[in-house]
Structure 1
């Protein structure tokens, strides 16, 4: 009997992590996987146990425990936190220990985000600058102060030192309400971050809002298509060690672009139709609201990218901006209903 592939996943109760774990449980090679999830909630851990997932009650910030779990794993998936340098150092410490003891070069798939490419447009303009995941030199030119960048650099350094193969996934704005057993059972969060946050804050102010003029541009991807990429990458890394990693192992995810105003117009219209907005057209968040609700105008930034490497791996998304726009009203309805 072939040995098991031990997979350690951080982020099982999150929006993306829950979707990936759910998909792993239906993977054709599921019987060859032994999956351990890091979970803080005891009740959720018990439910995961009934579904065939081993759980450890801890957080990503229990560094010694995280290092121990990494040391016992062939594959580590971090879909929990993109900005904790210490947590990633703990994962890498554990993976190095595994390498030193066994000679194996384990796999570390880390989740970053296209927020690393953000500018300070504040919704007032777009940009012609586009980042490609096949252009390592361009990515290496990013300042260390960029969002997610300090962690990304730690990950790449681990690969450079030779004890681990690292892969960095950079999702953009993700849309679509999470569906399936994990979401039905309340294990995982069914909502994304960026647009649902704007919807909730618009609901709080009683009017759909937008940062600045909403002229900024971001990439987008549907949740299930993003999940399929993670599975594709896991399969590729397990079957072919030459799959681009380390310095070349950035995998940007996108299937089109949107302007913030166009999305804001959709949720503003939905809020208005539900009696939760004064106008069907978005109005600018005031400077005070921008600070109160978002801590700054990052939602009005530009982040333009090209997922060349991800597509070369065989990823074939089909959802378009039309699907994104059509997803907004159900998202608003769910949030207004408190779901």
Structure 2
């Protein structure tokens, strides 16, 4: 098999940086190009064989030209940036041979943040096989929907030439291996709000549940899809149904709050380990720096429950990493250094 040419964007991020490191370590014969607005310190020393393209997500032609020179594109950066997705697709369609596009998504697409039953259990658990027809026709207000429509329409229109897959990641934990960001989104937000409040917290009954995956288990799915693409498609499913949840476990907000309270109290960072029940308005005002009015409700009061049926069936996905609770102490304490 000829070594594939891979173009990666988002390589300074938590996920994208770990994807890059995984590919370099596990597939040293693959030809990799990464795009940066600013090349990280020590990058050339650590990854001397990785080619570099300088640009950002708004540089349409830069992205498109780099994509056109690759037969596999992996986008591991800003998951809602429509411009870079369009540029990737345009570049891949300039090629004469079938190409592959693997894009980072998220279980925000299934989150019930708009429904208003905050802090309570939603019994719906989504399957990326049984529910794929619904997943690929979600309303426009659903998170990630704008970008997913672009990809799914391209997959339907150019299916013989453009093979697409969406890795719909759940909440992620564990330390990343990139050179810039090595922390997830949830744990730093959770840590900051706990420290400000003086206690771990939940709202309602705290029974709302979130799906989780360790960053290293997530890398299994990335590597399997890249390898399948390098083999011309492999056993993987591509196109509109090429939708992959990454879940290994789920927890309630109350369970997370109880565990975090014990850890942070033991380290003298808060005075009580007992979680505090807070109002919906308090939750609504959390994560305000994101600029999205519903971020606190989505992060701490909603349900995102899913099953990784497709990865288990087609990619032989077997999670191996420790649970979110086993990693929580390291994840929370690492926030002190950021």
With the length of structure 1 as denominator, give the TM-score of the two structures: 0.88
> How far apart, in 1, do the equivalents of 2:205 and 2:21 lie?
39
Give per-residue Cα distances to partners, 1:203-253, cap 9 Å, x unaligned: 233332334442111111111111111101111222243631112100111
Measure the CA separation in 2 of the matches of 1:253 and 1:46. Answer: 28
- 3-state secondary structure, aligned to 1:220: strand
| 2:119–2:205 contact (8 Å) kept in structure 1 | yes
> How far off is 1:319 after superposition?
3.7
Could you tell me which residue of structure 2 aligns to residue 134 of structure 1? 129
Query: SS at 1:25's partner residue?
Result: helix
8 Å contact from structure 2 (residues 216, 321) kept in 1? no
Alignment partner, residue 231 of structure 1? 223
Would the alpha carbon gap of residues 220 and 175 (structure 1) be closer, same or farther in structure 2, given more than 3 Å must change?
A: same
Structure 2 partner of 1:311: 312
1:75: which partner in 2? 72
Which structure 2 segments of 5+ residues have no match? none
Give the C-alpha shift of residue 194 in structure 1: 1.4
**Within 5 Å, which residues of 2 pair with 1:1-339?**
3-27=2-26, 29-31=27-29, 33-44=30-41, 46-47=43-44, 50-98=47-95, 102=96, 104-120=97-113, 121=116, 123-135=118-130, 136-162=132-158, 163-179=161-177, 182=178, 187-241=179-233, 243-286=236-279, 287-288=281-282, 290-294=284-288, 295-296=293-294, 297-299=297-299, 300-312=301-313, 313-319=315-321, 323-336=323-336, 338-339=337-338
Between the aligned partners of 2:259 and 2:133, the Cα distance in structure 1 is 38
Q: How many residues align?
A: 323
C-alpha separation in 2, matches of 1:332 and 1:52: 34
Q: Which runs of 5+ in 1 are unaligned?
A: none
Please identify, of 113-122 and 243-252, the stretch whose mean Cα deviation from structure 2 is larger: 113-122
C-alpha distance in structure 2 between counterparts of 1:127 and 1:59, whole Å: 39
TM-score by length of 2: 0.89
CA contact (8 A) 1:129 1:304 kept: yes
SS at the partner of 1:26?
A: helix
